[in-house]
Each structure stands twice: as structure tokens, then as C-alpha cells.
Amino acid sequence: MGVSEHPLQISPQAGVAGSGRVQAWTDSIFERFSDYGGQLVARTVFSKRWTVFLFLLVVLWIVPRAEAGTITGEVRILVESHASHAPRSPFARRRPVEESSQTQMPSEEMQKVIVFLADDSSLNPAQPLPEKPIVNQKDLEIQPGFLLVPVGTTVRFPNSDDVYHNLFSVSSAKRFDLGRYGQGKEKEVIFDKPGEVRIFCDIHPHMNAIIFVVPNEYYTVLGDDGSFSLDNVPAGEYELHVWHESLGEQTKRVNVPDSGVSTVDFVFARN
């Protein structure tokens, strides 16, 4: 009994037979499709290009799609005021009357209230700003006095004054000391850790500023009416933070649905 030198080689006769079976199967498929638009449509669908396209559609349909929701809310500021009103009768006992009123911050203060989600593996990490923000030293001030940046952003610190400055920070989110440098000089700092960074000048104690570094792309500042919205947040449970330089920070757990809106409100008290 002879043994072929190439045992995996298919004989021409077997190839013809196999080809015939494939052709018969294909023809049967074409006949079924002919009821829905003719053999021409069927043959077009089963061309290589359309086969690949249909395969990709099936894959996209089977693979679970990431669902996302929205977090909305409002931050209210309660201001306590205590007043003593004079009674109508001079013989009546004077009693202090406490009044509590609710007010909104000025719009420039609203922009210093930051709403953000704490770092989480389910969230997209922050992308550094493509253009380096500038924090200038001008007119013996740090301008701007407040800056919000994503983690990893590099900030430029030029000196536009005709005197020396020496900016530094001892904040846990970023410690640095730029040293003394004069007009026209510039230094840079990479803010590679989220959190609050308070900046001062070693030469001029009245100069100060804050840079707040957020950990991911889910952050915003308040609107003029105290409202906020975080869109396209992946479904899940997260820790929502609200921060202000003088009012402090509050956190709440929030469950984000796979679609729809989750509402969370915050109240700060200012005496």
C-alpha cells in the first residue's frame, strides 16, 4: 500500500468533489435568498466584502455596549444671620430674633466651586491640557488667583514684575520651590497628583493662589444658579466631591444608572 510523500496534500479529485459540495450548499443558500429579492441580491450579500461587513455587525451587536448616565444637582449656600430687633414698647423685654436666610454666591465665586468624581478605575483618566496654562506674577499678584487643571498638566510661571519673586507650595498634592527669579524669566511645574495646591511667594507674603488638580475627566464648576451636570458617566457607584476654598469639601456616594439621570444636592453653611 503506497504512502504519499505529502500526506496533507489534497488530490485534484477530492478538491473537485469538495468544491462541488460547497457549490451545492451555496446554491441552496442563493435559492432561499431569491424569495427576498432575487439571486443577484443574494450573491451580492455573500460577496467577500459584504461577508466581512456582516461579521463586524454581528460582533458589534454581541459585544456589550458601555452604558452611561448623567449626574445633576445643585449646591446651596446657607447664610446664618442673627439680629436683635428693638421692641415696640420701651418696657417690653428685648429678645433677640434669629433669622436664617438662604443666598447664592456671586457668579465669580460660583466658578470656584468644583464638582468632581473621585479617582476610580472605571473612569477615564484625565488628559493634560494641550496648552500649558499661565500663572503670571504681575503687579505683585499671582494671576489668576484660582486655576483648575486635570492631573498631569504643566503650568507656566512667568515673572512680569520688575522685582524678584519666589513661588512655593507645601501642599501634599504638590510641593515645590521655584527659587528667586526676575522679570522675563519663567519656570514650569507639572501637577502630577490630584488635590488642592496653595501657592505663596516667599518674598511677598500677601501673594497667594490656588491650583486645584482633578483626577479624571468628570469634573465641572457650578453654574450661576448653583447647578451642575456631569454627562456620559459610566454606570456604577462613585464618590462625588464638591470643593470650595473657604467652605471646605463635602462628599456623597452616587449610583449612576446605565441610562437616565441621578440627582445629588449639597448644602454648605456659611456663618
Secondary structure of the chain in the HEC alphabet? CCCCCCCCCCCHHHHHHHHHHHHHHHHHHHHHHHCCCCHHHHHHHCCHHHHHHHHHHHHHHHCCCCCEEEEEEEEEEEEEEEEECCCCCCCCCCCEEEEEEEECCCHHHHCCCEEEECCCCCCCECCCCCCCCECEEECCEEECCEEEEECCEEEEEEECCCCCECEEEEECCEEEECCCECCCCEEEEEECCCEEEEEEECCCCCCEEEEEEECECCEEECCCCCEEEEEEEECEEEEEEEEECCCEEEEEEEEECCCCEEECCEEEEEC
Confidence (pLDDT) at 259: 85
Q: Provide the whole-model pTM.
A: 0.68
In angstroms, what CA-CA distances link 239 with 66, 210, 218, 227? 20, 23, 11, 18
> 76: closest CA among 209, 250, 208, 262?
250
Confidence (pLDDT) at 258: 87
**Distance of alpha carbon 111 from alpha carbon 102, whole angstroms:** 19
**Distance of alpha carbon 77 from alpha carbon 157, whole angstroms:** 34
* Positions in the chain short of pLDDT 50: 1-19, 22, 30, 33, 41-42, 45-46, 58-60, 62-65, 84-86, 92, 97-98
pLDDT more than 90, % of the chain: 52
Confidence (pLDDT) at 112: 82
Confidence (pLDDT) at 219: 96
CA-CA-CA-CA dihedral for 31, 36, 38, 43, to nearest 10: -70
Confidence (pLDDT) at 246: 86
State yes or no: cis peptide before 144, omega within 30 of 0: yes
